[in-house]
Amino acid sequence: MKKIAVIVTNHKKLGHRGKKTGLWLRELTDFYHEVKDDFEIDIISPKAAKVPIDPRSLPAAVINGRTRHYYLDKKIQRQLDRPLTPGEVKADEYAGIYFTGGHGTMWDFPDNQELQRMTANIYEKGGIVAAVCHGPSGLLNVRLSDGSPLLSGHLATGFSDLEEKLLGLYKDIPFSLQHEMKERGALVQIAQLPLETCVIESGRLITGQNPASASGVGEKMREQLKDMDRYAYQARLNGPKES
């Protein structure tokens, strides 16, 4: 069974006002639901420390049965209590990598060189890179072997400036994700309505704008990886025959 690396934040404070943040729970659980039957999933974080859950995302664990189911899943709980770190895994083992969101990612994803190398390795060996909401902050400084930014020339999306302002959090974030993605050469596309589902495929890069988009990102990654398997199988069938 192929493996997917799911990257989560360790950062739990939002801005100078010290509000609590962390992983946005639904962005893990919705994605997990879409890929769990076909792929093995490793939860990986910058540090081997318990993953904080953004308290604002926890009501979904009460209201939504699916979110609650995975939040209470003992296997997932163990992985969140003690996630793997990039130094403990080999990029070659993964067919895809997915960056979850939550505002904490804006502090511990962008400058993590181990995550950058891991992402570039997976992408350049034909794997899929995906991210949702604030997760694309982990892609900002990923450069390919030719020195070009991974995001350059790709259609992509992420949590928008308008959405930050509607939540009253724009002054708490360290940078504008929308602006920084454009600075790396991404062609940023934003849904017409804030917090509306928006999932964009750009080759082997899949991005979602907000929590509502996490399920769609999972669907697209699952479809692409399964298509790759079908193409590889057909290529073997149609390969050169011995004379």
% helix, strand, coil for the chain, step of 5: 45, 15, 40
Angstrom distance (rounded) from CA 193 to CA 28: 23
Angle of CA points 51, 106, 224, to nearest 5°: 80
Angstrom distance (rounded) from CA 138 to CA 209: 14
Does some domain include residue 243?
no
Does some domain include residue 206?
yes
Q: Which domain holds residue 171?
A: 3-238
Whether 243 shows a pLDDT value over 90: the answer reads no
Does some domain include residue 79?
yes
pTM of the model: 0.94
Residue 140 sits in a domain whose CATH number is: 3.40.50.880
pLDDT band at 235 (very low <50, low <70, confident <90, very high): low
Asked whether the CA dihedral 80, 84, 86, 87 is positive or negative, the reply is: positive
Does some domain include residue 160?
yes
Whether 7 shows a pLDDT value over 50: the answer reads yes
Which region among 118-122, 179-183, 190-194, 214-218 has the lowest average model confidence (pLDDT)? 190-194
Angstrom distance (rounded) from CA 109 to CA 129: 14
When the pLDDT of each residue in the chain is averaged and rounded to a whole number, the result is 94
Whether 151 shows a pLDDT value over 90: the answer reads yes
Would you say 73 and 28 are in contact if contact means Cβ atoms under 8 Å apart?
no
Cβ-based burial of 66 (10 A; exposed 0-12, middle 13-18, buried ≥19): middle
Angstrom distance (rounded) from CA 57 to CA 134: 14
Q: Bridge partners of 96?
A: 4, 128
Q: Report the run of H or E that residue 84 belongs to, with start and end.
A: none
What pLDDT score does 233 carry? Answer: 56
Q: How many domains does the chain have?
A: 1
pLDDT tens-digit series, residues 95-131: 999 999 999 999 999 999 999 999 999 999 999 999 9
Query: Backbone dihedral region of 159: left (phi > 0), alpha (psi from -120 to 50 degrees) or beta?
Result: beta
Whether 78 shows a pLDDT value over 60: the answer reads yes
Whether 236 shows a pLDDT value over 70: the answer reads no
